[in-house]
Chain A
Amino acid sequence: MSDLDGRQRAIARVCLGEAPPADALALLGGDPRRWQVYRDLVRTRLWRALLEALPRTYAAAGGERFGGWFTRFLDEAPPRTRFVREVAPAFGAWVRAAEGEALSRPAPWLPEALALDLAEHHVALSDARLDPSELAAFSMDLPAALDPAHRRVRVRWAVEGEAVVERPRTLLLHRHPTLGSVETLELSALGADLLDAMDDGATPVTAAIGGVLSRRGLSADGAFAEAFAGLLTDLMEREVLLGSFAPI
């Protein structure tokens, strides 16, 4: 190991370790308070990135538990990405792996708080898009083309005032067409099933609807047709439904 390698590794250990190691500080020399400056800068930047991306997770876990994860994450599995925006997803994956089933104890809503935070983070930043040459005007006889940046998240819990109550539903998160902000649409159970069936990029909409209605023992009556048309219109205005995939 070269001298330069050794000094860089010492700085990394001072910044990322659970505590600054004495041998690393000795190798670096100088005033340990100045190395603490680097430790604070590194950790503060990453901490802020996580708090910004994962507010629900922080609230559900509490500061002590979240802080413990942060300390272990930096010590055991520090970010492997050069993009700050990718640190939160990496942290989220590490938390899930490290906690396993314990993540839902004592607050059973913690896993979905994390899922919802990460979905919102993805929707805000994603550059996923469809190739315009693959798109056609919307047709019930073609597969629906949905914006790949949107996310649908099934959640069981809802915050109502100061309380967390059980209220299963599906949330559709998408970007506002002009503002770029993340918007949330609450879907009915039937609407969520329809979108799931329509979002495989292959099944014509008519067939996707038929499958869902058949499973639910429903018929495509006038009331359904009116509600479904309303859903499609809403999704088009939100630019979640971009049209259909053109026939190959």
Chain B
Amino acid sequence: MARVEGVGLGLRAPLVGDLMTRAPPSLRWVEVSPENHMGRGGFFERMLADARGRFPVVTHGLSLGLGDRAPPDPAFLRALRAFLESVGTPWHSDHLCFGAVDGAHLHDLLPLPFTRESVRAVADRVRLLEDALGLPIAVENISWYAHPGDAQMSEADFLGEVLSRSDARLLLDVNNAFVNARNHGTDARDFLRRIPADRVVQIHVAGHFTGADGFRIDTHGEPVCAEVYELLELALSRTGRVPVLLERDGGFPPFDELAAEVERLDAILQRASP
């Protein structure tokens, strides 16, 4: 299993040509979503093989449904485990959300209520998934746009409770923390100060869309904003130097612009304590 450190970039089809031929020196690893590659031949299969030949790979899931109510599909877990082993990821992350209801998959990151019932459900599932996959699970805080019903605790407390009741690590998404704070009138710095920093194994950084009414949507389709860079510095001051990933899923700029973002993230990361 390759050591993962420094700055990474999400492996996306529009980026792969530049990634393979002129990646910036500070780009040290790539992140892959298994659901985009499992059971898929052709271009995606070749893209993954090329990337694995050049970079360590960390996996980031889209559909484990940490908050789903139905038991996980054993066949999918077996296939996922084989995939994770094949790419040698040190951990597998997925989102603190639900995505399927009564067998219907909604293909988005849907919000869990910040309740004790949710904490128990997610913690139980994380433990089950870690056993099934044979790897540590890292839970990512999501951008949420509405809270379903009444909350019994804050988001930071919810996250902390899930981590304390499970063996999960934390994939801290700094952009999501910022988006949530702006949308819900809270303080992202306070959120970052309250999360259990010793559980953070990876950080996500991304851009987001701001609507005419000021409401923000986590799109991964814009440049990283100045406030998120500042929050990254704060987060790293608490976590120490953990791998940082730049997420870019759309609105792809010229590769040199992405490379400049990678270099900027690396400069921030290098200033953090080891």
Contact = CB atoms under 8 A, between A and B. Distances in A.
Interface of A: 2-5, 7-12, 15-16, 27-31, 34-35, 37-38, 41-42, 45-46, 78-85, 87, 124-129, 149, 175, 179-181
Q: Is the interface of A mostly helix, strand, loop or mixed?
A: helix
30 contacts: A3-B115, A3-B117, A4-B69, A4-B112, A8-B101, A16-B104, A28-B146, A28-B149, A30-B147, A34-B145, A41-B108, A45-B107, A46-B107, A78-B105, A79-B105, A80-B105, A82-B35, A82-B63, A82-B76, A82-B105, A84-B35, A124-B43, A125-B40, A125-B42, A126-B42, A127-B40, A127-B45, A129-B41, A175-B42, A180-B43
A78 B99 CA distance: 13
Identify the 10 closest CB pairs spanning chains A and B, nearest first. Answer: A180-B43, A34-B146, A127-B41, A82-B63, A78-B104, A12-B101, A7-B148, A180-B42, A37-B145, A42-B108
B41 A79 contact: no
B121 to A, nearest CB: 6
Nearest to A5: B69
Contacts of B215: 37
Interface in B10-52: 35, 38-46
Contacts of A126: 41-42
B221 to A, nearest CB: 13
Interface residues of B, number: 42
- Scoring B39, B45, B76 by chain A CB atoms within 10 A of each residue's CB, the highest score goes to B39
B113 interface: yes
A58 to B, nearest CB: 19
Contacts of A83: 35, 38-39, 63
A85 B147 CA distance: 29
Given A8-B101, A83-B35, A15 B106 contact: yes
A41 B44 CA distance: 25
A201 to B, nearest CB: 19
Contacts of A8: 67, 69, 98, 101, 110, 148
Contact of B41 (A37, A149, A179): A149
A11 B110 contact: yes
A2 B102 contact: no
B100 interface: yes
A13 to B, nearest CB: 9
Contacts of A28: 146, 148-149
